[in-house]
Amino acid sequence: MNWQTIFHEIETVDSYKRFGKVTRVIGLMIESKGPESSIGDVCYIHVGGKRKQRIVAEVVGFRDENVLLMPFSTVHDISPGCMVEATGKPLQVKVGVELIGKVLDSLGNPLDQSKLPKGLTAISIEQSPPNPLARPPIHEPIEVGVRMIDSLLTVGKGQRVGIFAGSGVGKSTLMGMIARNTNADLNVIALIGERGREVREFIERDLGSEGLKRSIVVVATSDQPALMRIKGAYTATAIAEYFRDKGMNVMLMMDSVTRVAMAQREVGLAVGEPPTTKGYTPSVFAILPKLLERTGTNEHGTITAFYTVLVDGDDMNEPIADTVRGILDGHFVLERALANKGQYPAINVLKSVSRVMNHIVTKEHRLAAEKLRELLSTYMNSEDLINIGAYKRGSSREIDEAIRYYPKIISFLKQDIHEKFSKEESIEALLELINSG
């Protein structure tokens, strides 16, 4: 940096600090008279009393010339007259390769209370999606190490996929398998709205020490304020974008985007937005495309993203599931009925789709996958007749063939959580299965 640049920075720097005062607190919302600020700016609320501290908050709106703030922590100790200091900047987090292997909170601080490593770069968590014309087409598959996905639902580098499931059907287990087995350069995992108990269980049991060595985990538990849960998603996405811009192939996994939407609904209702579909506010449906479109390809690298979506009562047409499915490049549906049968991963192949698969696999691979789907579909459509003994062999050549293949197909679809298959092994097993008849 030359002297002219330094003098210019000194001349243009704002040397004033702007303050306001808290006037009232209603529920999650803090209202203050001043300071001069913009939507998205971070402010510090100085709390007095026995414990002198400052609470970090964000400007989320304005009402009658008053500033509406939402804190990143609880509103305890805030009282009328507390000073509110404007920073004039949005939330920033520090990022670098030194963070790999660490577990962070939504503000980018290590959860184990250790200090951040030196040499990190500060970045804003609010970024714009890449220019559509600057996005290279997806032309290369990525290995996830799950045989069913690599062979029948092949994912491309830079593809964004939704994992749709009810509670307790194996989403976290599937994410752990992908994180351990993938050949991506780095995993960025966002656990949003998780139970506190499940965070350590996921890291130690599902992810494991080997998976953590090549991962950065961002955690915002369900007990944290709504703003922290929203910012957890934005922070994880910003970290993934940083490494993508370094030319890496990043795997981003977010569990779950539904809880991000619920947190945004809390914020929207507190600000005064009208509830619309199932109580979700308009801002929910505005932020989802902005957040999900940030991942994918750009001219430097790729972010392959998996977003889990909780479906209430296994209803695939509820508002968030419907919106997310329309934005993403594919969806995997996990079914409770398959989990109850002991089939893991419990992905229903017939209801799942990868929208880029046909463009990134060989013709032989595509035809084999289509054949397996056809056989499985034929069997499922006739399953009731077969089970009650109403179907007589020889009545239909297609059903006879499906019955013959069915045990082998189910065996092929099952995979133990500690098993790993390379992409080549998965495709070879698929071709061998189809040609075995």
Delimit the domains of the chain by residue range: 16-90, 93-354, 364-436
Residues 6+ apart with CB under 8 A from 27: 270
Residue 185 confidence (pLDDT): 95
Torsion sign across C-alpha atoms 211, 423, 172, 91: positive
Chain centroid offset of residue 233 CA: 7
Structure tokens that stand for 281 in this block: 């506010």
Distance CA 166, CA 318 (A): 12
Q: Do residues 165 and 333 touch, judged by C-beta distance below 8 A?
A: yes
Cα diameter, the chain: 89
Structure tokens that stand for 66 in this block: 């008053």
Q: Give the amino acid at 118.
A: K
The answer to whether the bond into 35 is cis (omega within 30° of 0) is yes
Q: Do residues 190 and 236 touch, judged by C-beta distance below 8 A?
A: yes
Residue 81 confidence (pLDDT): 87
Residues 6+ apart with CB under 8 A from 199: 103, 191, 219, 221
Residue 436 confidence (pLDDT): 81
Helix, strand, coil tally for the chain in percent (to 5):
40, 25, 35
Structure tokens that stand for 390 in this block: 């109403």
Beta strand pairing status for 302-310 and 160-165? parallel
Q: Which CATH code of 2.40.10.170, 3.30.565.10, 3.30.590.10, 3.30.365.10 fits the domain covering 16-90? A: 2.40.10.170
Domain 93-354 class in CATH: alpha beta
pLDDT in tens, the chain (437 residues): 566 666 666 666 556 678 889 998 887 789 999 888 888 899 999 887 655 788 899 998 888 889 999 988 877 778 888 899 998 889 999 999 999 999 999 999 999 888 988 889 999 999 999 999 989 999 999 999 999 999 999 999 999 999 998 878 888 889 989 999 999 999 999 999 988 888 998 898 888 888 899 999 999 999 898 999 999 999 999 999 999 999 999 999 998 899 999 999 998 998 888 998 888 999 999 999 999 999 999 999 999 999 999 887 666 778 999 999 999 999 999 998 899 888 989 999 999 999 999 999 999 999 999 999 999 999 999 888 887 888 888 888 998 999 999 999 999 999 998 899 999 999 999 999 998 86
3-state DSSP assignment of residue 326: helix
Structure tokens that stand for 292 in this block: 């999900």
Residue 187 confidence (pLDDT): 96
**Read out DSSP for 309-353?**
EE-GGG-TTSHHHHHHHHHSSEEEEB-HHHHHTT-SS-B-GGG-E
In total, the chain counts a number of residues equal to 437
C-alpha distances in angstroms, 211 versus 101, 111, 124, 193, 398? 9, 18, 27, 21, 43
Report DSSP state, residue 204.
I
Q: Do domains 16-90 and 93-354 have the same CATH topology?
A: no
The yes or no reply on domain 364-436 and CATH 1.20.1270.330 is yes
| Helix 319-327, helix 282-292: angle, nearest 10 | 30
